[in-house]
């Protein structure tokens, strides 16, 4: 569904992405994890066409995303911080999107609008909303047009416990529909029940891309948070650690 082929990106002297290769398939929930500054957000922005890579290509359903825009209709994106016009009401925001995507109006998914009870505050301007409520709006927008691909950047950050559980339940439901879901999150306890694959990044490099069971076996940990903590500390069983990062793993082969 998404193929990342030898993607590299440099911002002046900073190598944000360094020869990233991966393939994401329908039904996978891929957690992009790694320390701050590891390149996760840059990779997401490359997939979305918000950042143009220096080298390599990204294919969505076999078609290059470069110089293309139509593929974005297949993606629902929830940013870490949603930025919307201050004076626009919630109702107006949704109405604007319905107008822009009239051809998809019959296939909308309003479940999160209902479960978050957003219609009760539809007349509130965006500037008056708390951070958590903005997150609810961003989540509802990401799922609104029933896309086959969901990219969620720190989706539960700022949500209260009930809202976080509502969103996780929604992600589980979409996973069962064979959708591809990419998630970045520092709250790894939120990902235990959702994740099928882990892509670990460090200093712009793809350190490994494995299914969750393999990561658990490598580290001897059941909980994802504990497993990733062991990886970051470098004391997971069988992991080659040089004090800063693992040897780069491509597939199941260690280079």
Structural domain total, the chain: 1
pLDDT tens series, the chain, 255 aa: 899 999 999 999 999 999 999 999 999 999 999 888 899 999 999 999 999 999 999 999 988 998 888 899 999 999 988 889 999 999 999 999 989 888 877 789 999 999 999 999 999 999 999 999 999 999 999 999 999 999 999 999 889 999 999 999 999 999 999 999 999 987 777 788 889 999 999 999 999 999 999 998 888 888 888 888 888 877 654 344 333 333 333 333 332
- Report the CATH number that the domain containing residue 154 is assigned in CATH: 3.40.50.300
Radius of gyration of the chain from Cα atoms?
19
Range of the domain at 15: 2-254
Q: Do 172 and 194 form a contact (C-beta atoms < 8 A)? A: yes
């Amino acid at each position: 569904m998404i193929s990342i082929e030898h993607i590299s990106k440099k911002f002046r002297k900073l190598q944000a992405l360094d020869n990233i290769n991966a393939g994401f398939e329908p039904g996978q929930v891929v957690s992009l994890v790694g320390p701050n500054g590891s390149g996760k957000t840059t990779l997401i922005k490359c997939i979305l066409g918000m950042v143009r890579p220096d080298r390599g290509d990204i294919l969505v359903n076999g078609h290059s995303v470069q110089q293309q825009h139509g593929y974005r209709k297949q993606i629902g994106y929830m940013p870490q911080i949603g930025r919307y016009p201050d004076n626009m009401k919630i109702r107006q925001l949704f109405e604007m999107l319905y107008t822009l995507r009239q051809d998809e109006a019959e296939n909308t998914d309003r479940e999160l609008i209902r479960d978050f009870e957003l219609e009760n505050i539809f007349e509130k301007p965006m500037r008056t909303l708390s951070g958590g409520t903005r997150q609810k709006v961003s989540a509802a927008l990401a799922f609104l047009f029933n896309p086959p691909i969901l990219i969620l950047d720190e989706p539960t950050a700022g949500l209260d416990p009930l809202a976080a559980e509502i969103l996780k339940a929604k992600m589980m439901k979409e996973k069962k529909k064979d959708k591809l879901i990419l998630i970045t999150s520092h709250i790894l306890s939120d990902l235990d029940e959702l994740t099928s694959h882990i892509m670990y990044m460090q200093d712009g490099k793809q350190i490994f891309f494995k299914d969750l069971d393999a990561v658990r076996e490598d580290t001897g940990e059941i909980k994802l948070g504990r497993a990733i903590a062991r990886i970051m500390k470098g004391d997971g069983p069988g992991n080659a650690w040089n004090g800063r990062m693992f040897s780069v793993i491509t597939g199941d082969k260690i280079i």
